[in-house]
Chain A
Amino acid sequence: MARPGFVLEVDDRTPPLIVHNGEGFLLERFPLGTRVVYPPEALPAVRDVDEAIQNALLNPIESEPLPELLRPGMRLTIAFDDISLPLPPMKKPDIRQRVIEAVLELAAQAGVDDVELISANALHRRLTPNELRDIVGERVFRSFFPDGKLYNFDAEDRDNLTHLGQTRHGEDVEISKRAAESDLLVYVNVNLVAMDGGHKSTSIGLASYKSLKHHHNSQTMIHSRSFMDHKASKMHHSAWRMGEVLTEHVKVFQIETTLSNDIFGGPIEFLQKREWEWSLKDQASMLGTKRALAAAPAKVRHKIFTDVRANYGLTGVNAGAIEPVHEKTLEMVHRQHLVEVQGQADVGVIGVPYLGPYNVNSVMNPILAACMGMGYHFNSYRGNPIVRKDGALILYHPVPYEFSQLHHPSYVDFFEEVLAESTDPATIEAKFEKQYAEDPWYIHLYRTSYAYHGVHPFYMWYWISHCLDHCGDVVWVGANRKTVERMGFRSASTLQDALEMVSHSVGRSPSITYLHNPPHLIADVR
């Protein structure tokens, strides 16, 4: 039986603790009394994955079994989560491949021959053929990709979008025409964190900017508490409303999978464990890895990390109607990630790792680093943030001035131009968002190269607006001073310096909570 999450109070026997710090990690000695929130250990995995998938497809929740929905001559579309999930990418075979193969097998048995597969990347970058192959597997790739039946969603292909209508709040629902006109839309999801899945899959993954702008904006983001709880998140409320419109037009068969917390294996398995439980082998691995990373050139370090593949076990698979399926999913995700934390702290500490949803096979630029720390990890709570209102957030990441011109061309301009003018999400939204969203060069790169849509850096910045609004101080430890200054933050050399810098607002003996992740956790702050 896996052990649940755990909150440790640092005392004089507590060893230095691992803190993720971009493409590396630190051993940090925290002040006495610091509360350290450890994620639960990995839940046991389903033993027979194929059987679990078959069972879900044949015994769906509030839906006819999948074979009953398939018939000859029908138009079937299978959409699936893109490369932004799971993090890190999983060892082969990808769970999406196994689900898609099972669905295709049933479709073939039913005589369905009009099938298309769409990567639901919304405004994310297109996946390369190899990246698509990694997700769907060699067999599916070879059968569909050469004929153009396996492809990336293109949110700027006006001829292939369908406006389905508006929600009762006047929000446009515009999605992939193929998906909208299908007799059945099967969505294959990977639910790594509770933010994903549900109506978010189709009404966001297959939507255009016209649709997305209704919830991906500063006002909605600032009032989304928390992203990990769709009932408390305004963004999810909007997606759910859109989902209602969408499902009035299209029959959706939702398949959601949940994964265990089993991320780091092999020589870096010590990252999964609690420091005081490290064996001699773990300690040796940790020291060896730390020194090797310190000595390695940046390119080698980058390669080491981008090559990491997680073990993930499948903890559940549910299929059927979107909402009841998602309820089951959330139950399992919360069982894996929730850690009960009593009360908020004056200071929250978070180590930002090397990887986020938007820099897979790429670099984590300063905006993405901010989004990972202040968007994803800060928002990894249920109930209340780990930091009290106007408290301080201390983040670890080197935040180098590093951008991928291939993947993030608009990010460079956003950093140089927009943030130079203002860091206030509402201000930059009003002044710059439309220009970036409609810039023909960004649109061209999004459609034909491997670039995130021009508006994407804005979304990343809106993502942190709740944190900006909530925290009085944000300090980065060990970060490039110029990059964090441009984003409106401060940089400290050490944790002690950071605590000194925030002492004017939280005092000299603040309560501190350190979120010890990844592996993923959700602080259930009571």
Chain B
Amino acid sequence: MMLALEMYRSPAKYLAAKAVGGRIPGVLTGPAAPLRLVTINEPKAEREGWARIRPILSGICGSDLGMVTGSTKLYFSAVVSMPFVPGHEIVGELLDDCEDLPKGTRVVMDSVLTCAARGVEPCEGCVSGNTNRCDRITVGHVAPGLQTGFCRDTGGGWGNLVVAHRSQLYAVPDGMSDERAVLVEPLAGAVHAALRAKVQPGQSVLVSGAGAVGLFTTLALRELTQAGRITVVAKHAKQRELARAFGASDVVAPDEVFRGVRRSTGAFRLKQDFSGGEFLLGGVDVAVDAVGSKNSIDTVLRVTKAGGRVVLSGMPASGADLSPVWFRELEVTGTYASAREEPNGRPAFETALELAGRAPLDGIVGARYPLYRWREALDHAHSAGRLGTVKVAFDVRAS
């Protein structure tokens, strides 16, 4: 038996969380949340290539919060299996030998449950190395679930035990702290986003949002591409400071995006009738939305130059105005998780592990909570930007 936070099916609580979740954090983690701390059976690692892992730190991701607050789209309901233990940003210790990785190895996990993990014939995505595009995430010998942390059978990082397939695991180098290692999964996502952005040398980039996704994407863009000016939209003081440390050339407040991008790119700024909404003729070559809100997506679409590229990195909301996509012939692309074979020919996790080793990431994990203080942890994560924190994590061993 193990202690774990469990997400369970409760339409009433889902609706309640959807109604108030994003606005009143205290309520979302109270009685309204479809989440509970329970003692449950440990997941089993009975098939070849699978092993048990004892999580050390497990991060709280924006997608986890979206789920708890009911802002995740019902689209995803078909690719999860209830009840499940959330948590996919994990650094943990192997409790079993796992092929070439001996018991006791510290590992991080690519959470996507691909064909290899499910024991099925590889799909087109997995064959090509685009494992994050796997089409078999609902079949095989594991219950449906797009990732560990959304699957009934594997457990998740917000519990005392999780099982994983060898194809998901990467050994953490000696000397790398747990606090850095737990950031490898989101860093891998950022590596993937930065490479998907296909930034050409000298091109201007806008990153909307300076939470963990936005900051890490900024870092990855600066490290892995020859981007020219990178403008980051940051709301809070600490975010502004970190954005600069991670390679932003300019940092603008959300209400200054049009002004800042217009200035830095020499674009023309127009105001539409009635609503007062603005847009640019000209703008950045590439924009990355790392928020997912309607406002943020609207903004990146409106400040990207004609023929430019918009990368949706945050889980998108509905209702964005797609007129600029049509009118400015924008290329809109999504980025989800990370791939086994990125455009640079390497798994994103390998690149992320290198970044985690050398980037200025000290203090990025700004708070650690035991599982039984999950309400405070989620409240903190929900207000992380305002509180000057980038990443909140569960200290699973302390639970």
CB closest residue in chain B, given A412 = B259
A-contact bits for B292-333, CB 8 A (1 contact / 0 none): 000000000000000000000000000000000000000000
Residues of chain A within 8 A of B267, CB atoms compared: 441
CB contacts under 8 Å to B, within A395-439, are 412-413, 416-417, 435, 439
User: Complex formed: what's the CA distance from A242 to B11 in Å?
Assistant: 80
Residues of chain A within 8 A of B262, CB atoms compared: 441
Taking a contact as CB atoms under 8 Å apart, the answer to whether A417 and B269 are in contact is no
Residues of chain A within 8 A of B121, CB atoms compared: none
B-contact bits for A56-79, CB 8 A (1 contact / 0 none): 000000000000000000000000
Taking a contact as CB atoms under 8 Å apart, the answer to whether B259 and A444 are in contact is no
Is A93's CB within 8 Å of the partner chain B?
no
A-contact bits for B259-272, CB 8 A (1 contact / 0 none): 11011001111000
Q: Size range of the interface on A?
A: under 10
Most buried by B among A412, A413, A439, A441: A441
Taking a contact as CB atoms under 8 Å apart, the answer to whether B259 and A441 are in contact is no
Is A343's CB within 8 Å of the partner chain B?
no
Is A165's CB within 8 Å of the partner chain B?
no
Instruction: State the majority secondary structure of interface residues on B.
Output: helix
CB closest residue in chain A, given B262 = A441
CB closest residue in chain B, given A436 = B263
A-contact bits for B135-169, CB 8 A (1 contact / 0 none): 00000000000000000000000000000000000
User: Complex formed: what's the CA distance from A416 to B259 in Å?
Assistant: 9
Taking a contact as CB atoms under 8 Å apart, the answer to whether A416 and B256 are in contact is yes
Taking a contact as CB atoms under 8 Å apart, the answer to whether A444 and B268 are in contact is yes
Taking a contact as CB atoms under 8 Å apart, the answer to whether B260 and A441 are in contact is no
How near does chain B come to A482, taking the closest CB pair, in angstroms?
Answer: 14
Taking a contact as CB atoms under 8 Å apart, the answer to whether B269 and A441 are in contact is yes
Is A267's CB within 8 Å of the partner chain B?
no
Total count of chain B residues near the partner, CB < 8 A: 9
User: Complex formed: what's the CA distance from A440 to B266 in Å?
Assistant: 6
Residues of chain B within 8 A of A440, CB atoms compared: 266, 268
User: Complex formed: what's the CA distance from A413 to B259 in Å?
Assistant: 7
B-contact bits for A323-344, CB 8 A (1 contact / 0 none): 0000000000000000000000
CB contacts under 8 Å to A, within B81-116, are none
Residues of chain A within 8 A of B268, CB atoms compared: 440-441, 444
User: Complex formed: what's the CA distance from A412 to B263 in Å?
Assistant: 11
How near does chain A come to B335, taking the closest CB pair, in angstroms?
Answer: 30
User: Complex formed: what's the CA distance from A188 to B259 in Å?
Assistant: 39
CB closest residue in chain A, given B268 = A441
User: Complex formed: what's the CA distance from A412 to B259 in Å?
Assistant: 9
Residues of chain B within 8 A of A412, CB atoms compared: 259
User: Complex formed: what's the CA distance from A440 to B263 in Å?
Assistant: 10
Taking a contact as CB atoms under 8 Å apart, the answer to whether A417 and B266 are in contact is no
How near does chain A come to B320, taking the closest CB pair, in angstroms?
Answer: 25
Taking a contact as CB atoms under 8 Å apart, the answer to whether B266 and A441 are in contact is yes
User: Complex formed: what's the CA distance from A435 to B263 in Å?
Assistant: 9
Residues of chain B within 8 A of A439, CB atoms compared: 263, 266
| B residues at A contact (CB < 8 Å) | 256, 259-260, 262-263, 266-269
Given contacts A412-B259, A416-B256, A439-B266, 16 further A-B contacts (CB under 8 A): A413-B259, A413-B263, A416-B259, A417-B259, A417-B260, A417-B263, A435-B263, A439-B263, A440-B266, A440-B268, A441-B262, A441-B266, A441-B267, A441-B268, A441-B269, A444-B268
